[in-house]
Amino acid sequence: MARGLFPWGVFRKPLYIQCDKYRKGVIDGSACSSLCEKDTLYLGKCFTAKANSQVYSGSWGDLEGVIKCQMEEVPHYDLGNEMEPKKEVVAFNKPIRGTSVEKFREMILNHLKAKVGDQANLANLATQVLSIADANKDGHISLPEARSTWALLQLNEFLLALVLQDREHTPKLLGFCGDLYVMEKVPHSPLFGISLPWIIEVWIPTGLRRRMDQLFTPSWPHKAKISIGLLELVEDVFHGTFGSFLMCDVRATSFGYNDRHDLKVMDAQYIVPEAIFQEDIRQQRCDVDEDCLYGADCLTSCDLTKHRCTPEVTRPNLAKACEALKDYILRGAPSDVREELEKQLYACIALKGSTEHMEIEHSLILNNLKTLLWKKISHTKDS
């Protein structure tokens, strides 16, 4: 059993459950043997106190990683007043015994289509999922491997990692066991500022906290490269190869960066397929616009004639990203670009809706911001 630094049973019990399912042949995956038999996958610091969604630092042989476990539950969106998705139990009972690989491929395709819409390249994405499912690379997909992969497919982070795997905005999936999975470690997080124990955090005034955050940032050229990464992420999830995604929690804690100052998504729980968001929020009853909020940033309006939420978010991803970056990138900006950068950032923050005209403006602002930042750092070693 993987050793942890925490002695409390509440943190370790679910991993015993995971290994029990592995030994009984219910689940399998590339990390199961290391976790449950070889004792080479170690758990370190626990980053969350949530009993049903735990995140640990960890090491797997020579690799440092982050271990995430959904504790047999996966998100189901409730777009009402609750900030956290509701949970549904994962029974690891799909696919059923006797399901052929072709039938499993069909299940995957239908699931992906329901998540991101009928996109042209879904067959390629399904092939990638099947490749991951063959965890021991023996050319066959066992029932436990298939059931583990199916459980992972229900998770936003896993889906987003698949969609963006060629763009390097998401940490790489190193391995999995059931719905426990290991991602590569992102060495620098949050995006800016410092992480403090909550007992200290609650006593720090907001203004002082903001000033502290701005002190603990990289040099301006490095900040520019990280900011370009966030803008490129917005570009990739906006009408990308596999449909559009909404970024519903664009806070510094959701992102980090590596030693090359490439942006990485730390928490993809609130980056959701637009099609799923719109389908669910249409059913949400409301009396005021605030009833139509999901996460921290995805707000639609309330149709008072029907007391139902409308499907279109009031602010696009780009406007939220620019707001998150404004203080970060303007502080320490070179004098010859600061005025133009500030002007473009405020134009970006003012973006509303998602009409065709707005999409054109969206693209222009995004490209202008990227160009301005790249021109300033392209001739430096920091680029």
Rounded to two decimals, the pTM is 0.82
Percent of the chain clearing pLDDT 90 (strictly above):
52
| 318 has pLDDT over 80 | yes
pLDDT tens-digit profile of 55-90? 888 899 889 999 988 654 444 444 444 434 444 445
Average pLDDT over residues 159-176: 86
Q: How far is it, in rounded angstroms, from Cα 137 to Cα 144?
A: 14
pLDDT of amino acid 240: 76
DSSP type of residue 243 = B
Residue 287 contacts residue 293 (beta carbons within 8 Å):
no
Contacts of 88 (CB under 8 A, 6+ apart): 73, 74, 76
Do you find a cis peptide bond into 95, omega within 30 degrees of 0?
yes
Token look-up 């930042």 returns 373
Least confident interval from 97-101, 219-223, 239-243, 314-318: 239-243
Which of the four pLDDT bands, split at 50, 70 and 90, describes residue 310? very high
- Which residue, 301, 245, 290, 289, is CA-closest to 269? 245
pLDDT tens-digit profile of 208-225? 666 666 666 788 999 999
pLDDT tens-digit profile of 334-350? 999 999 999 999 999 99
Contacts of 203 (CB under 8 A, 6+ apart): none
